[in-house]
Amino acid sequence: MDKQASSQAERLMLDAKKAILQEQHQRFQALQREERWDEAWKQLHVTLSCAADLLKDSVCLLEKAVTQQKQLPPSTSSSDPLQSL
């Protein structure tokens, strides 16, 4: 897989994880509104796990962007390190 395709795949994966996180958060909020506290507590764990996974992958992507930016010669580096992804 070339660099551009890999970057697109990583972005799609982050978008999918963000959508999953939003869905889990909505479930948690619905359980709270219904005052189903035991289920809401369990859902909170799932929601936080999804959030942690998304943050971890986001940090990895940012670290990769910074590493790639540092490897570019000064004359060709852009002002936006994420632009190369």
Query: 73 — alpha (psi -120 to 50), left (phi > 0) or beta?
Result: beta
DSSP annotation of 35: T
Q: What is the pTM of this model?
A: 0.73
Q: Over the chain, what is the mean pLDDT?
A: 87
Q: Which domain holds residue 22?
A: 9-55
pLDDT tens digit string along 60-83?
989 988 888 888 877 655 556 566
Residue 1 domain-assigned (yes or no): no
Residue 3 domain-assigned (yes or no): no
Closest CA to 28 of 16, 14, 15, 45: 45
Structure-model confidence comparison of residues 3 and 52, the more confident one: 52
Report the pLDDT value the prediction gives residue 12, as an integer from 0 to 100.
Answer: 93
Report the pLDDT value the prediction gives residue 49, as an integer from 0 to 100.
Answer: 96
Per the structure, the count of domains in the chain is 1
Residue 4 domain-assigned (yes or no): no
Q: How far apart are the two ends of the chain, measured CA to CA in Å?
A: 14
**CA-to-CA distance for 23 and 3, rounded, in angstroms?**
30
pLDDT tens digit string along 7-23?
888 889 999 999 999 99
pLDDT band at 4 (very low <50, low <70, confident <90, very high): confident
**CA-to-CA distance for 4 and 79, rounded, in angstroms?**
19
| Token pair listed for 44 | 């909170």
